[in-house]
Amino acid sequence: MGSDLNITKHLQDYILKNGLKLHPIQKEIIDYNLSLGDSKRMQISISQCQFLHLIIKVSKIKKVLEIGTFTGLSTLSMALALPEEGCIIALDKNEETNKIAQKFFKKANQDHKIKTIIKPALESLMSIRNEKFDLVFIDADKMNYQKYYEISLDLLNKEGLVIIDNVLWHGEVVNKDINDKYTKSIRDLNNFISKDKRIEKVMVPFGDGMTVCRVL
């Protein structure tokens, strides 16, 4: 039986060198995030940027909901892949990081595709409950992941996609000795999704792990 390759730093650099090239403003966001200390871990990986770009292109996605924006790397990665008439509604509760993200969106000439809502995500989701999306990307507070997932299914167009970040949680989901509330929350979500008959799904080891769900 074949197994996944162990990705070393050297091999990761090779993959990124030979993959989809980053937009200059994506690079600026990454450089900015490096100055943030521990909070830089909230950024998605470059491989995830590339994956989101490809998913949007091949699925011909036009309308995206993002739950959790941080400084805007994932948002911009998706906006760049959208057609000119495409749009993203980006939810985040942090006004300061959102201001920074909006500056990057404008600098990349993608701000016309992006509408931000600055509130706790569950409140924002209630305010857009009558809208429909082709893709929902979840990357926010982990304790509410299952709530976001359930609401997202109701907001999707037929055969729409939900993509959830951090599903491998630094590898801690498989460590039986780690049982903090965040790890348990991710484990519970993964178990729930694995049994959910409403969708078909695949878990991919990009970044901190992503689960892609397609509504049946």
For residue 37, the Cα-to-chain-centroid distance in whole angstroms is: 21
The residue count for the chain: 216
pLDDT in tens, 49-81: 999 999 999 999 999 999 999 999 999 999 999
Which CATH number characterizes residue 45's domain? 3.40.50.150
> Is 188 within a domain?
yes
* pLDDT at position 1: 59
For residue 119, tell me if it sits in a domain. Answer: yes
Q: How confident is the model at residue 2 (pLDDT cuts 50, 70, 90)?
A: confident
What are 89-140's pLDDT values in tens digits?
999 999 999 999 999 999 999 999 999 999 999 999 999 999 999 999 999 9
Q: What is the C-alpha separation between 80 and 138, in angstroms, rounded?
A: 18
2 occurs within a structural domain = no
State the total domains in the chain: 1
Residue 29 lies in domain: 9-215
* pTM beyond 0.85, yes or no: yes
